[in-house]
Amino acid sequence: MAFNKILLISAWLSVLLSVSLAASNTTTIYSLLQSRQDYTFTVQSMELTNLTSLYNNTLLNFTFLASNDTAWENSSANATGALSAAKQNVSGAIDFLGRLLVANTVNQTVRFSSLSSGTTSFVSLAELPLNFTKNSTGDSVEGDPVISPDVAAGNSVVQFLEFLLVPPAPPTTTSAPTSAPTSAPTSVAA
Ligand SMILES: *[C@@H]1O[C@H](CO)[C@@H](O)[C@H](O)[C@H]1NC(C)=O
Ligand SMILES: *[C@@H]1O[C@H](CO)[C@@H](O)[C@H](O)[C@H]1NC(C)=O
Ligand SMILES: *[C@@H]1O[C@H](CO)[C@@H](O)[C@H](O)[C@H]1NC(C)=O
Ligand SMILES: *[C@@H]1O[C@H](CO)[C@@H](O)[C@H](O)[C@H]1NC(C)=O
Ligand SMILES: *[C@@H]1O[C@H](CO)[C@@H](O)[C@H](O)[C@H]1NC(C)=O
Ligand SMILES: *[C@@H]1O[C@H](CO)[C@@H](O)[C@H](O)[C@H]1NC(C)=O
Ligand SMILES: *[C@@H]1O[C@H](CO)[C@@H](O)[C@H](O)[C@H]1NC(C)=O
Ligand SMILES: *[C@@H]1O[C@H](CO)[C@@H](O)[C@H](O)[C@H]1NC(C)=O
Ligand SMILES: *[C@@H]1O[C@H](CO)[C@@H](O)[C@H](O)[C@H]1NC(C)=O
Ligand SMILES: *[C@@H]1O[C@H](CO)[C@@H](O)[C@H](O)[C@H]1NC(C)=O
Ligand SMILES: *[C@@H]1O[C@H](CO)[C@@H](O)[C@H](O)[C@H]1NC(C)=O
Protein backbone atom coordinates (compact mmCIF):
# COMPACT_ATOMS: atom_id res chain seq x y z
CA MET A 1 0.00 0.00 0.00
CA ALA A 2 1.22 3.48 -0.84
CA PHE A 3 1.15 4.73 2.73
CA ASN A 4 3.38 1.90 4.03
CA LYS A 5 5.81 2.55 1.19
CA ILE A 6 5.92 6.20 2.21
CA LEU A 7 6.64 5.21 5.81
CA LEU A 8 9.60 3.15 4.62
CA ILE A 9 10.89 6.04 2.52
CA SER A 10 10.38 8.26 5.55
CA ALA A 11 12.48 5.94 7.72
CA TRP A 12 15.18 5.85 5.07
CA LEU A 13 15.15 9.63 4.91
CA SER A 14 15.74 9.92 8.65
CA VAL A 15 18.94 7.96 8.16
CA LEU A 16 19.91 10.03 5.14
CA LEU A 17 19.19 13.29 6.97
CA SER A 18 21.27 12.32 9.97
CA VAL A 19 24.33 12.03 7.76
CA SER A 20 23.57 15.14 5.72
CA LEU A 21 25.14 18.47 6.40
CA ALA A 22 22.75 21.20 7.44
CA ALA A 23 21.25 22.88 4.41
CA SER A 24 21.63 26.63 4.07
CA ASN A 25 17.88 27.19 4.20
CA THR A 26 16.16 24.95 6.70
CA THR A 27 12.55 26.03 6.14
CA THR A 28 10.43 22.92 5.59
CA ILE A 29 6.74 22.20 4.98
CA TYR A 30 6.51 21.03 8.60
CA SER A 31 8.29 24.06 10.07
CA LEU A 32 6.31 26.50 7.92
CA LEU A 33 2.97 25.04 9.05
CA GLN A 34 4.19 24.80 12.63
CA SER A 35 5.07 28.51 12.58
CA ARG A 36 1.49 29.34 11.63
CA GLN A 37 -1.10 29.24 14.39
CA ASP A 38 -4.00 27.57 12.60
CA TYR A 39 -2.45 24.48 11.00
CA THR A 40 -2.19 22.44 14.20
CA PHE A 41 -4.33 19.54 12.91
CA THR A 42 -2.06 19.05 9.90
CA VAL A 43 1.08 19.26 12.04
CA GLN A 44 -0.35 16.79 14.58
CA SER A 45 -1.27 14.40 11.76
CA MET A 46 2.30 14.48 10.45
CA GLU A 47 3.53 13.61 13.93
CA LEU A 48 0.96 10.88 14.66
CA THR A 49 1.64 9.14 11.33
CA ASN A 50 5.43 9.33 11.82
CA LEU A 51 5.71 11.30 8.59
CA THR A 52 7.52 14.22 10.22
CA SER A 53 10.86 13.26 8.70
CA LEU A 54 9.22 13.28 5.26
CA TYR A 55 7.76 16.78 5.70
CA ASN A 56 10.53 18.24 7.89
CA ASN A 57 13.39 17.88 5.43
CA THR A 58 15.16 20.23 3.12
CA LEU A 59 16.22 17.65 0.52
CA LEU A 60 12.91 16.90 -1.17
CA ASN A 61 11.06 19.11 -3.59
CA PHE A 62 7.42 18.60 -2.73
CA THR A 63 4.17 20.42 -3.25
CA PHE A 64 1.87 20.23 -0.24
CA LEU A 65 -1.81 21.19 -0.16
CA ALA A 66 -2.57 22.66 3.26
CA SER A 67 -5.93 23.51 4.83
CA ASN A 68 -6.35 25.33 8.13
CA ASP A 69 -7.95 24.05 11.31
CA THR A 70 -11.29 25.66 10.47
CA ALA A 71 -11.37 23.76 7.18
CA TRP A 72 -10.61 20.53 9.09
CA GLU A 73 -13.43 21.24 11.53
CA ASN A 74 -15.78 21.95 8.64
CA SER A 75 -14.92 18.76 6.78
CA SER A 76 -17.85 16.36 6.45
CA ALA A 77 -15.28 13.53 6.44
CA ASN A 78 -14.96 13.98 10.26
CA ALA A 79 -11.22 14.56 9.96
CA THR A 80 -11.01 16.02 13.48
CA GLY A 81 -12.76 12.89 14.78
CA ALA A 82 -10.11 10.79 13.04
CA LEU A 83 -7.43 12.93 14.68
CA SER A 84 -8.93 12.32 18.13
CA ALA A 85 -9.09 8.58 17.41
CA ALA A 86 -5.48 8.61 16.14
CA LYS A 87 -4.39 10.16 19.44
CA GLN A 88 -5.92 7.06 21.09
CA ASN A 89 -3.75 4.93 18.78
CA VAL A 90 -6.69 3.69 16.68
CA SER A 91 -4.82 2.25 13.70
CA GLY A 92 -7.60 2.85 11.15
CA ALA A 93 -7.61 6.53 12.09
CA ILE A 94 -3.82 6.75 11.76
CA ASP A 95 -4.04 5.13 8.31
CA PHE A 96 -6.76 7.61 7.32
CA LEU A 97 -4.60 10.57 8.34
CA GLY A 98 -1.53 9.17 6.59
CA ARG A 99 -3.48 8.65 3.39
CA LEU A 100 -4.96 12.15 3.73
CA LEU A 101 -1.48 13.68 3.96
CA VAL A 102 0.12 11.77 1.07
CA ALA A 103 -2.95 12.40 -1.12
CA ASN A 104 -2.23 16.10 -0.60
CA THR A 105 1.42 15.80 -1.60
CA VAL A 106 3.01 15.90 -5.06
CA ASN A 107 6.60 14.74 -5.51
CA GLN A 108 7.64 17.81 -7.50
CA THR A 109 7.27 21.54 -7.13
CA VAL A 110 4.10 22.82 -8.79
CA ARG A 111 3.86 26.60 -8.89
CA PHE A 112 0.75 28.26 -10.32
CA SER A 113 2.99 31.09 -11.49
CA SER A 114 4.70 28.59 -13.83
CA LEU A 115 1.56 26.78 -15.05
CA SER A 116 -0.25 27.73 -18.22
CA SER A 117 -3.94 28.60 -18.05
CA GLY A 118 -6.30 25.65 -17.94
CA THR A 119 -6.00 22.33 -16.14
CA THR A 120 -2.75 20.44 -15.59
CA SER A 121 -2.84 16.95 -14.10
CA PHE A 122 -0.39 15.70 -11.49
CA VAL A 123 -0.30 12.54 -9.38
CA SER A 124 -0.10 12.60 -5.59
CA LEU A 125 2.06 10.36 -3.40
CA ALA A 126 -1.15 8.37 -2.81
CA GLU A 127 -1.05 7.70 -6.57
CA LEU A 128 -4.28 9.62 -7.15
CA PRO A 129 -4.70 12.33 -9.80
CA LEU A 130 -4.71 15.98 -8.76
CA ASN A 131 -5.90 18.53 -11.30
CA PHE A 132 -4.44 22.00 -10.89
CA THR A 133 -6.56 24.66 -12.64
CA LYS A 134 -5.62 28.22 -13.40
CA ASN A 135 -8.28 30.46 -14.97
CA SER A 136 -9.96 33.85 -14.67
CA THR A 137 -11.74 32.72 -11.48
CA GLY A 138 -8.38 32.06 -9.83
CA ASP A 139 -6.25 29.06 -8.90
CA SER A 140 -7.73 25.78 -7.71
CA VAL A 141 -6.88 22.14 -7.09
CA GLU A 142 -9.66 19.63 -7.83
CA GLY A 143 -12.04 22.59 -7.85
CA ASP A 144 -10.91 23.60 -4.34
CA PRO A 145 -9.96 27.32 -4.35
CA VAL A 146 -6.35 28.17 -3.54
CA ILE A 147 -6.35 31.04 -1.02
CA SER A 148 -2.61 31.57 -0.98
CA PRO A 149 -0.59 30.09 -3.87
CA ASP A 150 3.08 29.16 -4.27
CA VAL A 151 4.31 29.74 -0.71
CA ALA A 152 7.94 28.61 -0.55
CA ALA A 153 9.09 26.20 2.15
CA GLY A 154 12.74 25.60 1.38
CA ASN A 155 12.82 23.70 -1.93
CA SER A 156 9.18 22.76 -1.47
CA VAL A 157 6.01 24.70 -2.17
CA VAL A 158 2.80 24.93 -0.12
CA GLN A 159 -0.56 25.70 -1.72
CA PHE A 160 -3.07 26.87 0.88
CA LEU A 161 -6.56 25.57 0.07
CA GLU A 162 -9.95 26.78 1.22
CA PHE A 163 -11.36 23.29 1.95
CA LEU A 164 -9.79 20.08 3.18
CA LEU A 165 -9.23 17.71 0.25
CA VAL A 166 -10.13 14.16 1.33
CA PRO A 167 -9.12 11.15 -0.80
CA PRO A 168 -11.50 8.26 -1.42
CA ALA A 169 -10.96 5.20 0.76
CA PRO A 170 -8.38 2.78 -0.67
CA PRO A 171 -9.79 -0.22 -2.53
CA THR A 172 -9.97 -3.30 -0.33
CA THR A 173 -7.87 -6.30 -1.35
CA THR A 174 -10.28 -8.91 -0.02
CA SER A 175 -13.31 -7.92 -2.07
CA ALA A 176 -14.08 -6.27 -5.37
CA PRO A 177 -13.47 -2.53 -5.22
CA THR A 178 -16.66 -0.53 -4.82
CA SER A 179 -15.08 2.67 -6.04
CA ALA A 180 -12.54 3.29 -8.77
CA PRO A 181 -9.05 3.27 -7.21
CA THR A 182 -7.96 6.06 -9.53
CA SER A 183 -10.80 8.44 -8.65
CA ALA A 184 -9.62 11.84 -7.58
CA PRO A 185 -9.95 13.31 -4.09
CA THR A 186 -12.95 15.52 -3.51
CA SER A 187 -13.10 18.66 -1.49
CA VAL A 188 -15.73 18.17 1.11
CA ALA A 189 -17.29 21.58 1.27
CA ALA A 190 -20.77 20.12 1.52
C1 LIG B 1 5.52 5.89 15.32
O2 LIG B 1 6.73 5.70 16.02
C3 LIG B 1 6.54 5.33 17.38
C4 LIG B 1 7.89 5.30 18.05
O5 LIG B 1 8.87 4.74 17.21
C6 LIG B 1 5.83 3.98 17.42
O7 LIG B 1 5.58 3.61 18.75
C8 LIG B 1 4.50 4.09 16.70
O9 LIG B 1 3.86 2.83 16.64
C10 LIG B 1 4.70 4.61 15.28
N11 LIG B 1 3.41 4.86 14.68
C12 LIG B 1 3.12 4.51 13.41
C13 LIG B 1 1.76 4.92 12.92
O14 LIG B 1 3.90 3.93 12.68
C1 LIG C 1 12.78 19.63 12.04
O2 LIG C 1 14.02 19.94 11.44
C3 LIG C 1 14.79 20.89 12.18
C4 LIG C 1 16.05 21.21 11.43
O5 LIG C 1 16.04 20.84 10.12
C6 LIG C 1 15.13 20.32 13.54
O7 LIG C 1 15.82 21.28 14.29
C8 LIG C 1 13.85 19.96 14.25
O9 LIG C 1 14.15 19.31 15.49
C10 LIG C 1 13.00 19.02 13.40
N11 LIG C 1 11.73 18.80 14.07
C12 LIG C 1 11.20 17.58 14.22
C13 LIG C 1 9.92 17.52 14.97
O14 LIG C 1 11.71 16.58 13.75
C1 LIG D 1 15.39 20.17 -5.64
O2 LIG D 1 15.47 21.51 -6.07
C3 LIG D 1 16.77 22.06 -5.94
C4 LIG D 1 16.70 23.53 -6.25
O5 LIG D 1 15.80 23.77 -7.28
C6 LIG D 1 17.70 21.29 -6.87
O7 LIG D 1 19.01 21.80 -6.73
C8 LIG D 1 17.69 19.82 -6.46
O9 LIG D 1 18.46 19.06 -7.35
C10 LIG D 1 16.28 19.26 -6.44
N11 LIG D 1 16.30 17.95 -5.84
C12 LIG D 1 15.66 16.90 -6.34
C13 LIG D 1 15.75 15.63 -5.57
O14 LIG D 1 15.01 16.97 -7.38
C1 LIG E 1 -18.04 26.13 7.63
O2 LIG E 1 -19.28 25.51 7.36
C3 LIG E 1 -20.39 26.37 7.60
C4 LIG E 1 -21.64 25.57 7.39
O5 LIG E 1 -21.53 24.73 6.31
C6 LIG E 1 -20.31 27.58 6.64
O7 LIG E 1 -21.37 28.46 6.87
C8 LIG E 1 -19.00 28.31 6.87
O9 LIG E 1 -18.85 29.34 5.90
C10 LIG E 1 -17.83 27.35 6.74
N11 LIG E 1 -16.63 28.04 7.12
C12 LIG E 1 -15.51 27.96 6.43
C13 LIG E 1 -14.38 28.74 6.98
O14 LIG E 1 -15.40 27.30 5.40
C1 LIG F 1 -16.24 11.59 14.41
O2 LIG F 1 -15.25 10.63 14.77
C3 LIG F 1 -15.20 10.36 16.16
C4 LIG F 1 -14.01 9.46 16.42
O5 LIG F 1 -13.99 8.38 15.54
C6 LIG F 1 -16.51 9.75 16.61
O7 LIG F 1 -16.46 9.51 17.99
C8 LIG F 1 -17.64 10.72 16.27
O9 LIG F 1 -18.88 10.12 16.60
C10 LIG F 1 -17.63 11.10 14.81
N11 LIG F 1 -18.59 12.14 14.57
C12 LIG F 1 -19.45 12.10 13.56
C13 LIG F 1 -20.38 13.26 13.45
O14 LIG F 1 -19.48 11.18 12.75
C1 LIG G 1 -0.09 5.46 21.95
O2 LIG G 1 1.17 4.87 21.62
C3 LIG G 1 2.28 5.63 22.07
C4 LIG G 1 3.54 5.00 21.50
O5 LIG G 1 3.43 3.65 21.37
C6 LIG G 1 2.26 5.67 23.59
O7 LIG G 1 3.35 6.45 24.05
C8 LIG G 1 0.96 6.31 24.06
O9 LIG G 1 0.88 6.25 25.47
C10 LIG G 1 -0.24 5.57 23.47
N11 LIG G 1 -1.43 6.34 23.78
C12 LIG G 1 -2.56 5.78 24.16
C13 LIG G 1 -3.69 6.73 24.47
O14 LIG G 1 -2.69 4.57 24.25
C1 LIG H 1 10.37 11.57 -5.62
O2 LIG H 1 10.95 11.64 -6.91
C3 LIG H 1 12.33 11.31 -6.93
C4 LIG H 1 12.82 11.52 -8.33
O5 LIG H 1 12.49 12.79 -8.77
C6 LIG H 1 12.50 9.89 -6.48
O7 LIG H 1 13.89 9.59 -6.44
C8 LIG H 1 11.94 9.70 -5.08
O9 LIG H 1 12.00 8.36 -4.69
C10 LIG H 1 10.48 10.16 -5.04
N11 LIG H 1 10.04 10.16 -3.66
C12 LIG H 1 8.85 9.65 -3.28
C13 LIG H 1 8.54 9.75 -1.82
O14 LIG H 1 8.07 9.16 -4.08
C1 LIG I 1 -12.09 27.88 -13.23
O2 LIG I 1 -11.84 26.58 -12.73
C3 LIG I 1 -12.68 26.22 -11.64
C4 LIG I 1 -12.22 24.86 -11.15
O5 LIG I 1 -12.21 23.91 -12.17
C6 LIG I 1 -14.13 26.23 -12.08
O7 LIG I 1 -14.95 25.91 -10.99
C8 LIG I 1 -14.48 27.60 -12.62
O9 LIG I 1 -15.81 27.59 -13.13
C10 LIG I 1 -13.53 27.99 -13.71
N11 LIG I 1 -13.80 29.37 -14.12
C12 LIG I 1 -13.94 29.70 -15.40
C13 LIG I 1 -14.20 31.16 -15.65
O14 LIG I 1 -13.88 28.88 -16.31
C1 LIG J 1 14.47 30.47 3.34
O2 LIG J 1 13.30 30.06 2.61
C3 LIG J 1 12.14 30.80 2.96
C4 LIG J 1 10.98 30.22 2.20
O5 LIG J 1 11.29 29.01 1.67
C6 LIG J 1 12.35 32.27 2.62
O7 LIG J 1 11.20 32.99 3.00
C8 LIG J 1 13.56 32.78 3.38
O9 LIG J 1 13.81 34.11 2.98
C10 LIG J 1 14.79 31.93 3.08
N11 LIG J 1 15.89 32.35 3.93
C12 LIG J 1 17.14 32.46 3.48
C13 LIG J 1 18.14 32.92 4.47
O14 LIG J 1 17.43 32.22 2.32
C1 LIG K 1 -9.24 29.29 7.52
O2 LIG K 1 -9.54 29.18 6.15
C3 LIG K 1 -10.84 29.65 5.82
C4 LIG K 1 -11.07 29.33 4.39
O5 LIG K 1 -11.03 27.97 4.25
C6 LIG K 1 -10.93 31.12 6.10
O7 LIG K 1 -12.25 31.58 5.81
C8 LIG K 1 -10.61 31.36 7.55
O9 LIG K 1 -10.56 32.74 7.80
C10 LIG K 1 -9.29 30.74 7.92
N11 LIG K 1 -9.14 30.82 9.35
C12 LIG K 1 -8.10 31.39 9.91
C13 LIG K 1 -8.07 31.39 11.41
O14 LIG K 1 -7.19 31.87 9.25
C1 LIG L 1 -8.24 16.20 -14.89
O2 LIG L 1 -8.06 16.98 -16.04
C3 LIG L 1 -8.03 16.22 -17.22
C4 LIG L 1 -7.67 17.17 -18.33
O5 LIG L 1 -8.52 18.28 -18.32
C6 LIG L 1 -9.35 15.55 -17.44
O7 LIG L 1 -9.31 14.76 -18.59
C8 LIG L 1 -9.64 14.68 -16.25
O9 LIG L 1 -10.93 14.16 -16.37
C10 LIG L 1 -9.54 15.47 -14.97
N11 LIG L 1 -9.62 14.55 -13.88
C12 LIG L 1 -10.36 14.79 -12.83
C13 LIG L 1 -10.33 13.74 -11.79
O14 LIG L 1 -11.03 15.81 -12.69
Who contacts 50 (Cβ-Cβ below 8 Å, separation ≥6)?
7, 10
Could you identify the atom of ligand 2 that is nearest to the CA of residue 30?
1
Q: Tell me which residue range forms the domain holding 154.
A: 26-171+180-189
**Which of 110, 117, 119, 130 has the most ligand 11 atoms within 8 A of CB, as the residue to mutate?**
119
Ligand 3 contacts (CB < 6 A) are 61, 155
- Give pLDDT, residue 22: 45
Task: List pLDDT tens digits, range 111-161.
Answer: 999 999 999 999 999 999 999 999 999 999 999 999 999 999 999 999 999
Query: Mean of the pLDDT values across residues 46-55?
Result: 97
- Give pLDDT, residue 5: 72
Q: Does the residue 17 lie in any domain?
A: no
Provide the whole-model pTM.
0.84
Nearest CA to ligand 4 atom 6: 74
- The ligand with the least distance to the CA atom of 87 is 6
Task: List pLDDT tens digits, range 51-109.
Answer: 999 999 988 999 999 999 999 999 999 999 999 999 999 999 999 999 999 999 999 99
> What's the structural domain count of the chain?
1
Q: Is 149 exposed, middle or buried (0-12, 13-18, 19+ CB in 10 A)?
A: buried
CATH number at residue 88: 2.30.180.10
